[in-house]
């Protein structure tokens, strides 16, 4: 289990500690340093996030601030090189160690390492026997992967609207959508804020449904007194390049012991034995195919990165929270900005910092706001285009744009600001100053 009190390690490839070009910054403004050093090394220093000072003249930063670059250190490089020299590249001892360390971290008995979160969600649906004729209820406020995998097993995705504060799936809307064909609910912990699991699980119990958790954003996160990933629900994490922990591409599945026992062969062709247990001394060449499984296994190269990233996760998490507090403090008084929430009974993983613009206080909309940030050298993103607006889902299921008004009305006014442990205090100040400059320029 993770704890919130830890020393912060930060990459020295941030602008922190570098001198700014002479004469380039106006007094009171901080300029980001160069980014010529591509690789992070670690030092046990927590750079203090300086609160932005009020300034009369806004001067944009000189280099583009990428939305979410990975923070990879020498440790990862050494561990990957060690794997490359080891004669064992695919699923093997490091993958097993990563599974065990990850399980211990989230408080699970065991875990199954895969090559993506998408693979985890697909494997979960298949291992639970969900298929043609079944319905699976989920949210439109997610990346398409959550819904695509429901199509992959031949089931019908049934989308329902989200709650206005967290933008997580709304349990009341789930209740209205349950039919005799419903087999499962896929709850996405949007942006790292856990969905309302008690209410969702009560509906699942009453209607004999599975709950699958899409925890792509939720590492580390807690709902009430449980860590996401520690329970019996099949739960899929993502280690994609932008995620809170990255292996380049990768994922992890947790759940009950019985579930993992069923899921493990599904992730490797449905075979009874993986390569290590066949090729290692004393292993047997024989294997059987128990089901037409997938090729979703993680490699030891990915696991090498994961082992290092996992050791740094508490530090990454602490740094994310520090940046969120700074954003909150800086934006709190602005009528034009609605800030992301953290309900009192959860611990947010803060994968994303999603700002929502208030149309009545601004003369520009979301798209122009993003263009203005780009012009100020600040990278952003939007999470997400609601799934029912994508042509495939719109046309296949005949969705109308207004079928999920909470998702759509929030999508239209949302943007995600940079939030990652690589941001230096001057990067954070640059983001804040750019946002406030746009708000003040375009205030109604
Ligand atoms: C909510 C959500 N679910 C699932 C995924 C898929 O993750 P992966 O790329 O590891 O398959 C993503 C990816 O960004 C996501 O944001």
User: End of a domain among 286, 308, 330?
Assistant: 308
Question: What is the 238 CA–ligand 1 centroid distance (Å)?
Answer: 6
70, exposed or middle or buried, with CB in 10 Å at 0-12, 13-18, 19+? buried
Q: Does 381 share its domain with 292? A: no
Q: Distance between the two ends of the chain, CA-based, in angstroms?
A: 47
Has residue 34 got a pLDDT over 50? no
Nearest residue to 138 (alpha-carbon basis) of 187, 172, 198:
187
Given the CA of residue 249, which atom of ligand 1 is nearest to it? 10
Q: Does 194 share its domain with 60? A: no
d(CA 38, CA 110): 35
Has residue 37 got a pLDDT over 50? no
Question: What is the 121 CA–ligand 1 centroid distance (Å)?
Answer: 9
Q: Does 258 share its domain with 349? A: no
Q: Is residue 120 part of a domain?
A: yes
Could you say which of 7, 94, 224, 243 is catalytic? Answer: 243
Q: Is residue 2 part of a domain?
A: no
**CATH number of the domain encompassing residue 398:** 3.90.1150.10
Q: Is residue 139 lining ligand 1, measured as CB closer than 6 Å? A: no
d(CA 138, CA 407): 13
Q: Does 62 share its domain with 147? A: no
d(CA 271, CA 295): 10
Q: Is residue 237 part of a domain?
A: yes
User: End of a domain among 289, 308, 327?
Assistant: 308
SS (H, E, C) 127-188: HCCCCCCCEEEECCCCCCHHHHHHHHCCCEEEECCECCCCCCECHHHHHHHCCCCEEEEEEE
Q: Is residue 4 part of a domain?
A: no
d(CA 340, CA 351): 12
Q: Does 56 share its domain with 132? A: no
**CATH number of the domain encompassing residue 95:** 3.40.640.10
Q: Does 340 share its domain with 245? A: no
Q: Is residue 37 part of a domain?
A: yes
Has residue 388 got a pLDDT over 80? yes
Nearest residue to 421 (alpha-carbon basis) of 324, 335, 332:
324
Containing 367, the helix (H) or strand (E) segment is helix 366-375
Q: Is residue 3 part of a domain?
A: no
Q: Does 302 share its domain with 318? A: no
Q: Is residue 117 lining ligand 1, measured as CB closer than 6 Å? A: yes
Mean pLDDT score of the chain, rounded to an integer? 89
Q: Calculate mean pLDDT across residues 241-245.
A: 98
Q: Does 88 share its domain with 31? A: no
pLDDT at 151 (0 to 100): 98
Question: What is the 142 CA–ligand 1 centroid distance (Å)?
Answer: 8
d(CA 29, CA 278): 61
Has residue 29 got a pLDDT over 60? no
Has residue 12 got a pLDDT over 80? no
User: End of a domain among 279, 308, 337?
Assistant: 308
**pLDDT class for 22, splitting at 50, 70, 90?**
very low
d(CA 405, CA 400): 10
Q: Is residue 214 lining ligand 1, measured as CB closer than 6 Å? A: yes
Contact 128, 236 (CB under 8 A): no
**pLDDT class for 418, splitting at 50, 70, 90?**
very high
Has residue 318 got a pLDDT over 60? yes
pLDDT at 172 (0 to 100): 98
Mutate which of 114, 115, 118, 150 for ligand 1? The one with the most ligand atoms within 8 Å of its CB, which is: 118
Q: Is residue 209 lining ligand 1, measured as CB closer than 6 Å? A: no
Q: Does 368 share its domain with 420? A: yes
Name the least confident of 45-59, 107-121, 350-364, 396-410. 45-59
Containing 222, the helix (H) or strand (E) segment is strand 222-223
Q: Is residue 5 part of a domain?
A: no
Q: Does 349 share its domain with 244? A: no
User: What percent of the chain has a predicted confidence (pLDDT) above 70?
Assistant: 87
Contact 246, 70 (CB under 8 A): yes
243 is known as an active-site residue: yes
What is the domain range of residue 254?
74-308
Span 351-385, pLDDT tens digits: 999 999 999 999 999 999 999 999 999 999 999 99
Q: Does 435 share its domain with 401? A: yes
Q: Is residue 115 lining ligand 1, measured as CB closer than 6 Å? A: no
Structure tokens given for 224 = 């009430």
Q: Does 145 share its domain with 283? A: yes
Nearest residue to 309 (alpha-carbon basis) of 298, 297, 317, 321:
317
Q: How many separate domains does the chain show?
A: 2
Q: Is residue 426 lining ligand 1, measured as CB closer than 6 Å? A: no
Given the CA of residue 243, which atom of ligand 1 is nearest to it? 14
**pLDDT class for 32, splitting at 50, 70, 90?**
very low
Q: Is residue 200 part of a domain?
A: yes
């Amino acid at each position: 289990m993770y704890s919130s009190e830890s020393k912060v390690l930060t990459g020295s490839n941030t602008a922190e500690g570098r001198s700014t070009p002479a004469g380039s910054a106006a007094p009171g403004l901080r300029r980001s340093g160069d980014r010529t050093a591509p690789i992070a090394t670690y030092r046990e220093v927590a750079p203090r996030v300086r609160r932005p000072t009020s300034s009369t003249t806004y001067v944009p930063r000189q280099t583009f601030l990428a939305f979410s670059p990975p923070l990879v250190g020498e440790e990862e490089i050494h561990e990957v090189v060690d794997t490359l020299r080891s004669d064992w590249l695919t699923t093997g001892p490091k993958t097993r160690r990563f599974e065990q360390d990850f399980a211990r971290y989230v408080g699970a008995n065991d875990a199954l390492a895969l090559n993506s979160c998408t693979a985890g969600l697909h494997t979960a649906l298949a291992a639970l026997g969900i298929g043609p004729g079944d319905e699976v209820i989920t949210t439109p406020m997610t990346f398409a992967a959550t819904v695509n995998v429901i199509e992959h097993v031949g089931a019908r995705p049934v989308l329902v609207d989200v709650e206005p504060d967290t933008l997580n799936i709304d349990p009341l809307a789930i209740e209205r959508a349950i039919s005799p064909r419903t087999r499962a609910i896929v709850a996405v912990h949007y942006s790292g804020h856990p969905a309302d699991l008690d209410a969702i699980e009560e509906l699942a119990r009453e209607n004999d449904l599975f709950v699958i958790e899409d925890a792509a954003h939720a590492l580390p996160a807690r709902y009430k007194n449980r860590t996401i990933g520690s329970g019996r629900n099949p739960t899929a994490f993502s280690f994609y390049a932008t995620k809170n922990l990255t292996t380049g591409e990768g994922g992890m599945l947790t759940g009950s012991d019985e579930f993992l026992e069923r899921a493990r062969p599904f992730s490797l062709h449905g075979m009874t034995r993986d390569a290590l247990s066949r090729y290692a001394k004393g292993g047997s060449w024989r294997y059987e195919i128990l089901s037409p499984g997938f090729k979703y296994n993680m490699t030891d190269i990915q696991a090498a990165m994961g082992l290092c990233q996992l050791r740094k996760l508490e530090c990454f998490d602490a740094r994310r929270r520090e940046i969120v507090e700074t954003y909150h403090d800086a934006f709190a008084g602005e009528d034009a900005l609605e800030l992301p929430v953290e309900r009192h009974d959860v611990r947010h993983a803060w994968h994303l910092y999603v700002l929502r613009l208030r149309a009545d206080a601004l003369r520009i909309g979301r798209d122009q706001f993003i263009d203005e940030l780009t012009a100020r050298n600040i990278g952003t993103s939007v999470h997400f285009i609601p799934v029912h607006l994508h042509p495939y889902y719109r046309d296949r299921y005949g969705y109308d744009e207004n079928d999920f008004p909470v998702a759509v009305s929030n999508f239209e006014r949302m943007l995600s600001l940079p939030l990652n442990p690589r941001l230096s205090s001057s990067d954070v100040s640059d983001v804040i100053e750019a946002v406030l400059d746009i708000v003040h320029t375009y205030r109604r």
